[in-house]
Copies of this chain bind each other. A is one copy, B any other.
Amino acid sequence: MSLIVQKYGGTSVGDLKRIQNVARRVAGTHAEGHQVVVVLSAMSGVTSNLLAMASEIMDNPDKRELDMLLATGEQTTIALMAMTLHSMKYPAISLLGYQAEICTNERSGNARITHIGAERIRALLKSRNIVIIAGFQGCDSSGNITTLGRGGSDTSAVAIAAALQADVCEIYTDVDGIYTTDPNICHKARKIDRISFDEMLEMSSLGAKVLQIRSVEFAKKYNVPIHVRSSFSEEEGTMVVNEDTPDMERLVVSGVTCNKDEARLTFRKVPDQPGIAAKIFSPIAKAGILVDMIIQNTRSEGQTDLTFTVPKAKLSKALEISKEVAQDVQATEVLVADHIAKISVIGMGMKNHSGVASKMFETLANENINIRLISTSEIRISCIIEEKYTELAVRALHSAFNLDRE
A contact residues vs B (CB 8 Å cutoff): 16, 50, 53-54, 56-58, 61-62, 64-66, 68-69, 71-72, 75-76, 78-80, 82-84, 86-87, 93-94, 96, 98-99, 143-145
CA distance A79 to B144 in the complex (A): 12
> Hey, which chain B residues are within 8 Å of A79, CB to CB?
54, 65-66, 68-69
Which of B58, B84, B93, B98 meets A57, CB within 8 Å? B84
**Sample of 24 A–B contacts (CB below 8 Å):** A16-B56, A16-B57, A50-B76, A57-B80, A57-B84, A62-B86, A64-B93, A65-B82, A65-B86, A65-B93, A65-B94, A66-B79, A66-B83, A68-B75, A68-B78, A68-B82, A68-B94, A69-B75, A69-B76, A69-B80, A71-B75, A72-B72, A75-B75, A99-B144
CA distance A16 to B58 in the complex (A): 12
Question: In the bound complex, how far is the Cα of B80 from the Cα of A61, in angstroms?
Answer: 9
Contacts of A64 in B (CB 8 A): 93
Question: Which B residues touch A96, using CB under 8 A?
Answer: 68, 145
Question: A54 and B75: CB pair below 8 A?
Answer: no
A86 contact set on B, CB distance < 8 A: 58, 61-62, 65
Other contacts beyond A58-B83, A65-B79, A69-B75: 18, CB < 8 A:
A16-B56, A16-B57, A57-B84, A57-B87, A58-B84, A61-B83, A62-B82, A62-B86, A65-B93, A65-B94, A66-B79, A66-B83, A68-B78, A68-B79, A69-B80, A72-B76, A75-B75, A99-B144
Q: Is the CB of A99 within 8 A of B143?
A: yes
User: Which residues of the partner chain B approach A65 to less than 8 Å between Cβ atoms?
Assistant: 79, 82-83, 86, 93-94
* Cα separation A365 to B81 with both chains bound (whole Å): 60
Query: Given the complex of chains A and B, what is the CA–CA distance between A69 and B16 in angstroms?
Result: 14
Kindly provide the distance from the CB of A43 to the nearest chain B CB, expressed in whole angstroms.
10
Contact: A87 with B58, CB < 8 Å? yes
Question: Chain B residues with Cβ under 8 A from A66's Cβ?
Answer: 79, 83
Closest partner residue, chain B, to A55 (CB atom)? B83
A50 contact set on B, CB distance < 8 A: 76
Tell whether, in the assembled complex, residue B98 and residue A80 are in contact, meaning their CB atoms are under 8 Å apart. Answer: no
Please give me the residue from chain B that is nearest to A145 by CB atom.
B96
Q: How far is the CB of A289 from chain B (nearest CB, A)?
A: 27
Contacts of A72 in B (CB 8 A): 72, 75-76
Q: How far is the CB of A123 from chain B (nearest CB, A)?
A: 11
A31 CB, nearest partner CB in chain B, Å: 19
Minimum CB–CB distance from A88 to chain B (whole Å) comes to 9
Chain B residues with CB under 8 A of A75: 68-69, 71-72, 75
Known contacts A58-B86, A62-B86, A87-B58, A53 near B80 by CB under 8 Å: yes
Residues of B within 8 A of A68 (CB): 75, 78-79, 82, 94, 96
| A16-B53 CB under 8 A given contacts A68-B78, A75-B72, A143-B99 | yes
CB-defined contacts of A93 to chain B, threshold 8 Å: 64-65
Cα A143 to Cα B98 with chains together (Å): 9
**Chain B, residue nearest A16 (CB):** B56
**In the assembly, what is the distance between CA of A75 and CA of B64, in Å?**
13
Q: Are B76 and A62 in contact (CB under 8 A)?
A: no
Closest to A50 in B: B76
Would A80 and B94 count as touching, CB distance under 8 A? no
Q: List residues of chain B with CB within 8 A of the CB of A83.
A: 54, 57-58, 61-62, 65-66, 69
In the complex, the chain B residue whose C-beta lies closest to that of A132 is: B65
Q: Which residues of B contact A53 (CB under 8 A)?
A: 16, 80
The 4 A-B pairs at the shortest CB distance, nearest first, are namely A69-B79, A58-B87, A72-B72, A68-B79
Q: From A143, which residue of chain B is reached at the shortest CB distance? A: B99
